[in-house]
C-alpha cells in the first residue's frame, strides 16, 4: 500500500497528516474549522483515500495559516506516498454536480506545480472561511504535491454547494490520477523518463 505520514510544526501551526492512497475513504479530520473539515472529508470519501488530519493553528488570529499549512502538508504527504510516481495514471479530470453547482477539476501529477482556479463566488466568506482561502488551499497543495491543478465551477449560486462540488471533484480527479495503470507498472509516465 502507498502510505505516508508527515508532521510539521511552526510558530503558527502544528499539523500531522497520514494518508493511504489505496484506502476506502475513511476520514478522521480535525482542524478546528468545521466547514474546512467538511470539505477535506469530501476529498477522502470521494477519492477513496484514508486521511487522518490533526491540526492546531492560530485560529484566534484567523484561519489562514491553518488552511494554508494543511494544503502544504497534505500535498507533501501525497507526494511522499507517490514515491517516484512509477506506474501512476498521472492525468485525470472529474465533473461533480452539487445541486445547482457544477464543479470540474483537471490534474496532472507532472512534478510541476501550477494552479488555475475559477469560481464565481457570491459572497466573500462561508462560515468563518474566506472563499479566497479555499482557493489558496488548492494552490498550497499543488506546490508541495507537485501537480498542475485546474479547478473551476462552471455554474452555481450557493457558495457551500460550489465549494463542495470543487472538493469532491478534486478528490475524484486525484483518485484517478494516483491510480496505478497496469499497462505501465514499472514505467515513469513521462516521455522524459522522470517527473521532476
Sorted by where each begins, the domain ranges of the chain are 3-184
**pLDDT digit string, tens, across residues 88-104:** 999 999 999 999 999 99
**pLDDT digit string, tens, across residues 31-51:** 999 999 999 999 999 999 999
Pairing state between β 129-130 and 101-108: unpaired
Q: CATH class for domain 3-184?
A: alpha beta
Residue with more model confidence, 75 or 188:
75
Residue 186 pLDDT > 90, yes or no? no
Confidence of residue 189 (pLDDT cuts 50, 70, 90): confident
What HEC string does 137-190 produce? HHHHHHHHHCCEEEEEEEECCCHHHHHHHHHHHHHHHHHHHHCECHHHCCCCCC
Query: pTM value?
Result: 0.97
Confidence (pLDDT) at 190: 80
As beta bridge partners, residue 6 has: 17
Task: Single out the residue of 140, 163, 136 nearest to residue 152, CA to CA.
Answer: 163
Element (H, E) at 144: helix 131-145
Amino acid at each position: 500500500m502507498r502510505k505516508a505520514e508527515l508532521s510539521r510544526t511552526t510558530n503558527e501551526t502544528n499539523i500531522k497528516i497520514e494518508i493511504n492512497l489505496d484506502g476506502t475513504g475513511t476520514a478522521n479530520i480535525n482542524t478546528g474549522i468545521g466547514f474546512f473539515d467538511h470539505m477535506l472529508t469530501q476529498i477522502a470519501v470521494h477519492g477513496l483515500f484514508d486521511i487522518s488530519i490533526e491540526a492546531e493553528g492560530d485560529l484566534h488570529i484567523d484561519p489562514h495559516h491553518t488552511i494554508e499549512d494543511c494544503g502544504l502538508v497534505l500535498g507533501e504527504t501525497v507526494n511522499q506516498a507517490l514515491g517516484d510516481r512509477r506506474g501512476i495514471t498521472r492525468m485525470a479530470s472529474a465533473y461533480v454536480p452539487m445541486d445547482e453547482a457544477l464543479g470540474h477539476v483537471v490534474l496532472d501529477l507532472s512534478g510541476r506545480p501550477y494552479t488555475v482556479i475559477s469560481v464565481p463566488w457570491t459572497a466573500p466568506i462561508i462560515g468563518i472561511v474566506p472563499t479566497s482561502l479555499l482557493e489558496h488551499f488548492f494552490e498550497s497543495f499543488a506546490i508541495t504535491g507537485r501537480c498542475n491543478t485546474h479547478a473551476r465551477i462552471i455554474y452555481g449560486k450557493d457558495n457551500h454547494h460550489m465549494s463542495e462540488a470543487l472538493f469532491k471533484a478534486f478528490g475524484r480527479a486525484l483518485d484517478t490520477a494516483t491510480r496505478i495503470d497496469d499497462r505501465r507498472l514499472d514505467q515513469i509516465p513521462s516521455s522524459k523518463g522522470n517527473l521532476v
